[in-house]
Structures are given as structure tokens and as C-alpha cells.
């Protein structure tokens, strides 16, 4: 008899490993059927031992062993794919069952027996390159060619067409990983011409029957194929892959929002390294940490990285919605706050007159996103980095405080205006609802649409709104960055209602996000972009307008290096929510448990969430001490720290590479 350790391929299992028995010999990496809480599910075998070696352990077990229901003839998943999932589980401090299950589309687990039959038609597709290769957690030192591609979309598309033809000639396949269904649709239109029979789009928006149909076509194609899909569909076992490309690399969608916050870009890179195929990270502007890897990890370039924005300088107009002369500033009647400048109103009227569509970008409603001096009309900026400060409630919820979201500098509310020394400060915030009300007031007869997370709940609702907007010439769409995922046609005019309010987003990467945001808006704009701001000398804004981002990005990376920010340090954040007594205890637990790693323990800027206090702990660790060999040669995950983090109760949320520190 054999004792088998199995990882349940089910996110709902409370135990990451389970023990079963079988009379048959079963290899590591095999897929089996097991019963868990009277439900038949799939399991991944990670260990199999003869009962004679574990008799004493069996006697001491507080439960009765269950029998494995069925051992599948073979796994439809490549061992390297499963290894990658297990390594990501370690990196992100996640239970193994959640890790593996997260990287496999649910339909593949639910319809496993139906899908596995396809292998009978083409066993070569499922065969491993190494016949006797078993599933291990050990990493192989494979030197994979890793490349960076930073260029305009048209240039990237042209490169991909050549690359795909080259691999097809070599009888190899290409997988382009994309963040959203919308991106997949765009790339399919651009790349499938002439190779329609060998191009497949795979994403969760397809009906289950269609996914299975396409899966069968992919695995049984004797010809090389082009797969355009989300990262989970890397689980399709084509053993002839020549290249894996991560497109729109800077998209936030790659970072899974729910726990344990996996980064699908990292998964794709680890998997590409394990199967030793060319790996490319591509975007119009790569993430700053990715650009830095050119020096840190020795990544090569497809072409020299392009930092030019490729937009006509005249296309970008920077305007102050509330311009006042110094002598007028004393007159409160003339100092009333305006949401739109006269220039913006004129341009809106001009576009509407010509039956052209307009997009107005705004953040969600909420915070006082910037503050001005009512005496001289200047924006109150951080003394250290010049970003606008944002008004928050203090951590004890008793007073107000100013915070810089870029460098985290905090200021008491009794600050003076640096320009005139005045105390007459006025917090302002321009959200989507405020903008919408103003536009309706000024243009009551125009068809106006709204698109943000609060106004729509599903993709279909968002698509319906954007289609109606694009169909109605001479209409206005007021929306957040969410609109970029659904807008297909360019608009004549775009307006950033309040550039200064962008700094209200609590993210230490905010300057980078702002650059990416402006580039996204420009890519959706045909003729003119108006940026309303009182801080016309903002470095990020000037960098975009200069048409060359190289100097700005170099300075940003230097600042991150001086501040011990990523990519020069790895951030690991632990968050706890509880009542006052629990929070005090949690602080003490984190301080004592992690003392050798010098955690910074602090409250969230929003100190309470549903009557629970927010406690954060931040660990800054050398990147080589928390990485994977496939990402950086000579690196590993600090097992001592991993064990400490894994020992925390589920009420403590661990986030590796967090998007923000609040």
C-alpha cells in the first residue's frame, strides 16, 4: 500500500495538503480524483511513499485514511506549469492549493475528464520533453532569453507579425499574454490576418463550450499556433512554444486583487524560464522596476528602449481653471472656484458644434484631493517633492492632517502657504459626480454618459455605455481610468478635469501611474488634450509635454533608490483589521515575531474600516533575499521569514510587492 500526499485543486480547502492511500504506484505530479467533504475533486500528487516506511506515522494519525478514487492516466498540465504555480505560492506566502488552483481556469478542473480525452488523438501534445521528469520544488538553472520591448503599439504589432511568421516557419507556437478580454480582441484583429485558422483567443468571457472547443483545436493542431489569452491559459500544454510575450506589461490587472495578490507577470516569467522559451515584456511604457531590471538583472532589449511620447506638443494644452491676478485675489467674489476653465468650455463647445465626441477624465468622488491658498490662489505642495498634499483625517480620527502620497510626508493642518505665508487655505476635491453635475448644468441639451466603478457593475454594462457614447456623435463621456478598457474609437477632445487630484491616490508609485494615465488618455485622443492644473510645473506633466520621458524616469529611479523603494528593495506588507484591543495585541505580535526584520508598524491613513482598526507592518528586504532564481540569478526566498509569515493567523493579510503602503 502507498501513502500519498495530495494538494487539493480547490481554493476552498482549509488544508493545503491531504493524505490518502492507494494500492497503485503513483508518480509525483500525477492528477488524481479524491473525496473532500463528500465532494469529488481533483488533486495533485506531491509525494508517494510505501506504507512500510510510514507505519509509525499512520498509527499516530488522528483520522482514518481515505482511498484515492482514481489515478488519471496522465496529467493535462505540464510539470513545469505546476512547478511554477508552487513556486509562486511560496513567493506570495500562499497555501499551495490556492496557488495551483488560481493558475488553472475553473473549466479545466470541472471538465477535466472531457478535456483529457483530447490527448488520445494527439498524445505528443501532452508528452513531456523529459520523459521521466517528476514534479519537484527545485529550480533548474536555465538561461532563458529575456527581452524588453518598449515602443509604440504600431511598432510592437509589426514586430510580432515578423516574430510569429518566424516561429511558424520553425514549426513553433507563440503565446501572447494580455490582461483583459478587450486587449485580446484588439490584438486578435491586428495579428490574425492570414493566419485565422491558427490564431486562438482564450479568456474567461467565453462560454465553457467554446473554451473546450478551442482547447481541442489548439492541442490537436499539427501546425504552430498563436494563442492570445490571459495568463491562466498558459496551462494549455503546447510543448512547441517558442516565445511567451507579456503585453501591456504595466497594466494593474495583472496583479490579482483578492488574496494572496498573485502577480501573473511573474508567473509567466517563471514558467517561460522553466520551459526555456524566449520571454518578452512589452508596452508603450514599461513599469519603472522593469526598466531598472535592464541593469539589475541584465535583461536585453528587442530595440533600444524608446522614451519618446510620439505626440505633437501642440496637442497638449495645460490650463489653470482658476487664473487670477494678484490684485484680484483679495476679492472673494472673483475668487470663486471653477471646475472648468474658459479655454476648456470653448473647446467643448467647438467639438460639440462639429458633432465630435469628448472624454472628460475625473477621479472617483471622495477626498479633498488638493488644497489652495485663497489669498494668492497657489496650490499647497509638499516641500520635499513638490507633489500636492492631500487632506486626510488623522489616525485617531480626531483631527485633520496633510499627507503627501508620493513621499509619505505628513504635515499638521496649521501649515502656511509657502508662496504668501497666508493661513487662508481651502481644501478642494473634484470627483466624477461633481464634474458630471457641472457639465449637465452648462450643456443641458447634450447627451452625457458616466462610466466608473460606482455606475456599472459588469463588463456588459460598461460596454453598453461606451457603445452608446461612440454611436452618439457630439456626446460627452465623464469617466475614470476604467473607460480606457472599453473605448475603441478615439475622441476629438479629452480633458483631465483636475490633474492635481491625481496625487490624492495613495500609491508610492503615483508619479509613474500618472505618466501611464496621461499616455493612455493621449492614445484615446485624436486632436487635443486639455490638462487642468494649478501646478503647471509638475515634473510628471512637464516630462510628458517634453515628448521624452528618459530624464524624468532616471530621476524617479534614483529617488526610489535613495528611499529604499522597489525595485531596489522588496516590500512585504502585513495588514490586520480588528477592534482596539485586538489591534494593540496584533502590533505587539508583529513587532515581536518579525523583530529581526525591523518591521515598520503603522496605522492606515483611513484608521477605521467598518469599526475595525487598520494595522500595517512593512518589511523592506534585499531583493535577492526574496525572489526566485528564474527572476534573478542567485536569489531565493528567505525561508525563515516565509515560515514566520506563514505562521500568522488568517486574520493577518500578507501582500508581497504591494501596490500601496496605506
| 333-356: pLDDT as tens digits | 444 668 899 999 999 999 999 999
Q: How far is CA 361 from CA 288, 371, 397, in A?
A: 24, 20, 31
pTM of the model: 0.85
CB 499, CB 533: distance < 8 Å:
yes
* Residue 36, C-alpha cell as written in the block: 473532500
pLDDT of residue 140: 47
* Matching residue, cell 495583472: 254
Q: What is the DSSP string of 173-238?
A: EEEEE-SSHHHHHHHHHHH-TT-GGGEEEE-TTS-HHHHHHHHHHHHH-SS--EEEE-GGGGGS--
Neighbours of 192 (CB within 10 A): 17
CB 195, CB 240: distance < 8 Å:
no
Give the pLDDT confidence of 416-463 residue by residue, as tens digits: 888 888 888 876 666 677 788 899 999 999 999 999 877 788 888 999
pLDDT of residue 257: 84
Give the pLDDT confidence of 219-245 residue by residue, as tens digits: 999 999 999 999 999 999 999 999 999
CB 522, CB 309: distance < 8 Å:
yes
* Residue 247, C-alpha cell as written in the block: 503585453
Complete edge-to-edge strand list for the sheet that includes strand 316-319: 316-319, 525-532, 491-496, 358-361, 476-479, 448-451
Burial string for 588-619 (b: 16+ CB within 10 Å, else e) reads ebbeebbeebebebbbbbebbeeeebbbbbbb
Secondary structure element (H or E) that encloses residue 63, with its range: none
* Residue 443, C-alpha cell as written in the block: 450643456
Return d(Cα 215, Cα 115) in angstroms, integer.
8
Phi, psi of 22 (to 5 degrees): -155, 155
Classify the phi-psi angles of 516: left when phi > 0, otherwise alpha if psi is within -120 to 50, otherwise beta: alpha
Q: How many helices (H) and strands (E) does the chain have?
A: 20, 28
Return d(Cα 396, Cα 414) in angstroms, integer.
17
Q: Is the peptide bond before 260 cis (omega within 30 degrees of 0)?
A: yes
pLDDT of residue 599: 96
Domains contained in the chain, CATH given: 2-79+90-125 (3.40.1440), 146-301 (3.40.50.300), 313-547 (3.40.50.300), 570-656 (3.30.70.260)
Rounded (10°) angle between helices 181-191 and 153-169: 70
Rounded (10°) angle between helices 550-562 and 510-523: 160
Is the Cα dihedral 639, 656, 93, 91 positive or negative? negative
Neighbours of 58 (CB within 10 A): 13
Q: How far is CA 411 from CA 154, 382, 388, 428, 618, in A?
A: 46, 9, 12, 17, 21
Return d(Cα 591, Cα 477) in angstroms, integer.
49
- Angle value at C-alpha 615, between 613 and 619, nearest 5 degrees: 170
Return d(Cα 499, Cα 319) in angstroms, integer.
10
pLDDT of residue 236: 95
Burial string for 296-319 (b: 16+ CB within 10 Å, else e) reads ebebeebeebbbebebeeeebbbb
pLDDT of residue 14: 76
CB 27, CB 45: distance < 8 Å:
yes
Phi, psi of 611 (to 5 degrees): 65, 15
- Flag residues of the chain having pLDDT under 70: 53-64, 119-142, 313, 324-337, 364-370, 385-386, 391-400, 405-406, 427-431, 504-506, 604-611
Give the pLDDT confidence of 385-402 residue by residue, as tens digits: 667 777 665 545 456 677
Comparing CA positions, the residue from 97, 100, 92 lying closest to residue 653 is 92
Amino acid at each position: 500500500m502507498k501513502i500519498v500526499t495530495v494538494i487539493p485543486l480547490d481554493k476552498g480547502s482549509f488544508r493545503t495538503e491531504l493524505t490518502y492511500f492507494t494500492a497503485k504506484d503513483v508518480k509525483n505530479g500525477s492528477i488524481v480524483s479524491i473525496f473532500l467533504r463528500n465532494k469529488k475533486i481533483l488533486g495533485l500528487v506531491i509525494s508517494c511513499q510505501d506504507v512500510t516506511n510510514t507505519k509509525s506515522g499512520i498509527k499516530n494519525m488522528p483520522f482514518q485514511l481515505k482511498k484515492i478514487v482514481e489515478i488519471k492516466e496522465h496529467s493535462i498540465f505540464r510539470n513545469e506549469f505546476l512547478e511554477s504555480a508552487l513556486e509562486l505560492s511560496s513567493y506570495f506566502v500562499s497555501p499551495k492549493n490556492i496557488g495551483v488552483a488560481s493558475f488553472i481556469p475553473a473549466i479545466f478542473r470541472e471538465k477535466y475528464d472531457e478535456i483529457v480525452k483530447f490527448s488520445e488523438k494527439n498524445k505528443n501534445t501532452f508528452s513531456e520533453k523529459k520523459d521521466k521528469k517528476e514534479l519537484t520544488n527545485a529550480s533548474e538553472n536555465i538561461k532563458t532569453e529575456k527581452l524588453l520591448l518598449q515602443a509604440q503599439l504600431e511598432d510592437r504589432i509589426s514586430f510580432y507579425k515578423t516574430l510569429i511568421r518566424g516561429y511558424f516557419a520553425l514549426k513553433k507556437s507563440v503565446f501572447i499574454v494580455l490582461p483583459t478580454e478587450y486587449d485580446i480582441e484588439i490584438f486578435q484583429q491586428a495579428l490574425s490576418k492570414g493566419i485565422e485558422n491558427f490564431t486562438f483567443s482564450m479568456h474567461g468571457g467565453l462560454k465553457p463550450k467554446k473554451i473546450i472547443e478551442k482547447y481541442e483545436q489548439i492541442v490537436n493542431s499539427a501546425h504552430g499556433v498563436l494563442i492570445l489569452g490571459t495568463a491562466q491559459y498558459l496551462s494549455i500544454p503546447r510543448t512547441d512554444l517558442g516565445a511567451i510575450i507579456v503585453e501591456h506589461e504595466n497594466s494593474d490587472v495583472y496583479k490579482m486583487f483578492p488574496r494572496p495578490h498573485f502577480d501573473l507577470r511573474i508567473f509567466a516569467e517563471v514558467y517561460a524560464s522553466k520551459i526555456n522559451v524566449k520571454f518578452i515584456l512589452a508596452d508603450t511604457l514599461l513599469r519603472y522596476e522593469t526598466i531598472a531590471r535592464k541593469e539589475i538583472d541584465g535583461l536585453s532589449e528587442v530595440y533600444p528602449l524608446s522614451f519618446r511620447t510620439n505626440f505633437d506638443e501642440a496637442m497638449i494644452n495645460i490650463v489653470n481653471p482658476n487664473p487670477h491676478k494678484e490684485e484680484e485675489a483679495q476679492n472673494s467674489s472673483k475668487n470663486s472656484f471653477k471646475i472648468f476653465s474658459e479655454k476648456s468650455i470653448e473647446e467643448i463647445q467647438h467639438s460639440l458644434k462639429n458633432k465630435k465626441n469628448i472624454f472628460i477624465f475625473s477621479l472617483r468622488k471622495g477626498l479633498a484631493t488638493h488644497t489652495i491658498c485663497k489669498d494668492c490662489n497657489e496650490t499647497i505642495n509638499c516641500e520635499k517633492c513638490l507633489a500636492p498634499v492631500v487632506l486626510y483625517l488623522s489616525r485617531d480620527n480626531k483631527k485633520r492632517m496633510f499627507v503627501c502620497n508620493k513621499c509619505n510626508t505628513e504635515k499638521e493642518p496649521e501649515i502656511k502657504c509657502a508662496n504668501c505665508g497666508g493661513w487662508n487655505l481651502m481644501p478642494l476635491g473634484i470627483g466624477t459626480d461633481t464634474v458630471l453635475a457641472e457639465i449637465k448644468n452648462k450643456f443641458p441639451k447634450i447627451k452625457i454618459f458616466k462610466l466608473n466603478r460606482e455606475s456599472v457593475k459588469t463588463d456588459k454594462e460598461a460596454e453598453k455605455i461606451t457603445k452608446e457614447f461612440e454611436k452618439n456623435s457630439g456626446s460627452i463621456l465623464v469617466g475614470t481610468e476604467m473607460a480606457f478598457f472599453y473605448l475603441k474609437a478615439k475622441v476629438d477632445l479629452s480633458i483631465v478635469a483636475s490633474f492635481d487630484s491625481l496625487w490624492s491616490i495613495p500609491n508610492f508609485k503615483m508619479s509613474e501611474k500618472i505618466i501611464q494615465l496621461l499616455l493612455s488618455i493621449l492614445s484615446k485622443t485624436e486632436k487635443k488634450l486639455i490638462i487642468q492644473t494649478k501646478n503647471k510645473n509638475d515634473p510628471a506633466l512637464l516630462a510628458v509635454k517634453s515628448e521624452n520621458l528618459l530624464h524624468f524616469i532616471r530621476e524617479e529611479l534614483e529617488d526610489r533608490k535613495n528611499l529604499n523603494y522597489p525595485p531596489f528593495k522588496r516590500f512585504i506588507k502585513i495588514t490586520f483589521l480588528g477592534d482596539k484591543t485586538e489591534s494593540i495585541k496584533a502590533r505587539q505580535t508583529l513587532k515581536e515575531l518579525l523583530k529581526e526584520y525591523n518591521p515598520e508598524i503603522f496605522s492606515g491613513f483611513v484608521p477605521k474600516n467598518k469599526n475595525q482598526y487598520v494595522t500595517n507592518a512593512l518589511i523592506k528586504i534585499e531583493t535577492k533575499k526574496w525572489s526566485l532564481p528564474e527572476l534573478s540569478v542567485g536569489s531565493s526566498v528567505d525561508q525563515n521569514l516565509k515560515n514566520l509569515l506563514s505562521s500568522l493567523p488568517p486574520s493577518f493579510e500578507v501582500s508581497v510587492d504591494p501596490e500601496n503602503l496605506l
